């Protein structure tokens, strides 16, 4: 059994697409997979959420959303505004451990970034990952601003004793600019390891069969794919 936590350097960086890609490749290998979204925000009852995208893209249907809040805020703030109870991280951890007993892989997708609050006591995804003793995939942007956000996320992880499973660029542009291309080497320097993947922009709109091929090409072997960071770097054309 294995538990993997997916977080982002910010909101909207591609966590759900990366989660779906990891799930798709694990399913392709024949592994039993469950995907857990501890808290979904910004989605009204009955509306499709992130897990619906995971199901559509990956074909993995064993998914669990543990709490939902309609306002697009942090889980703690969204719960406060709506008058709904906050997520219990202890209960979430217990449920995830239970799933891990019967599934080869349980993927936990966070909300926003690593230190976004889930409750009024200041509980975060970092606390959940530490409780689960699970490695963390960090999904980052390609462009300007990503280095500071990634550095802060990795520093927060190191300070809490969390293991890094890799940094993945969640949406690699079809026509990368100079900042995008230069940032690759700096992201690897921050992580002290090669990039763990780069999924192309628009991957979330693909059908399931095409998405599986894109996931395989866009994620490193540690995450189930064939992504070659050295080969990727060779395409960046940084020389004048």
Closest to 197 (Cα-Cα) out of 135, 142, 155: 142
Whether 37 sits among the annotated catalytic residues: the reply is: yes
Helix, strand, coil fractions of the chain, as percent rounded to 5: 45, 20, 35
Assess contact for 92 and 50: CB atoms under 8 A: no
Q: What is the DSSP secondary-structure string of 43-86?
A: --TTS--HHHHHHHHH----EEE--EESSSS-HHHHHHHHTPPP
Catalytic residue among 15, 37, 68, 103: 37
How far apart, in whole angstroms, are the C-alpha atoms of residue 30 and residue 240?
Answer: 46
DSSP state, 162?
P
Active centre residues (catalytic) = 37
């Amino acid at each position: 059994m294995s538990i993997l936590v997916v977080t982002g350097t910010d909101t909207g960086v591609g966590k759900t697409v990366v989660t779906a890609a990891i799930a798709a490749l694990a399913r392709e290998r024949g592994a039993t997979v469950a995907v857990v979204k501890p808290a979904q925000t910004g989605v009204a009852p009955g509306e499709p959420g992130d897990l619906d995208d995971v199901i559509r893209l990956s074909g993995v249907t064993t998914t669990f959303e543990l709490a939902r809040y309609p306002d697009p805020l942090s889980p703690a703030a969204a719960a406060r505004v709506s008058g709904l109870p906050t997520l219990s991280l202890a209960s979430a951890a217990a449920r995830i451990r239970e799933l891990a007993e019967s599934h080869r892989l349980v993927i936990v997708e966070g909300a926003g970034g690593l230190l976004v609050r889930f409750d009024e006591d200041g509980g975060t995804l970092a606390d959940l990952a530490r409780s689960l003793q699970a490695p963390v995939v960090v999904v980052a942007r390609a462009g300007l601003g990503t280095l500071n956000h990634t550095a802060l996320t990795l520093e927060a992880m190191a300070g809490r004793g969390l293991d890094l499973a890799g940094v993945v660029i969640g949406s690699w542009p079809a026509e990368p600019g100079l900042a995008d291309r230069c940032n690759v080497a700096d992201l690897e320097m921050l992580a002290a390891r090669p990039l763990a993947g780069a999924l192309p922009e628009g991957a979330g709109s693909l059908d399931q069969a095409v998405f599986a091929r894109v996931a395989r090409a866009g994620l490193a072997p540690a995450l189930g794919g064939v992504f070659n960071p050295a080969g990727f770097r060779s395409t960046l054309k940084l020389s004048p």
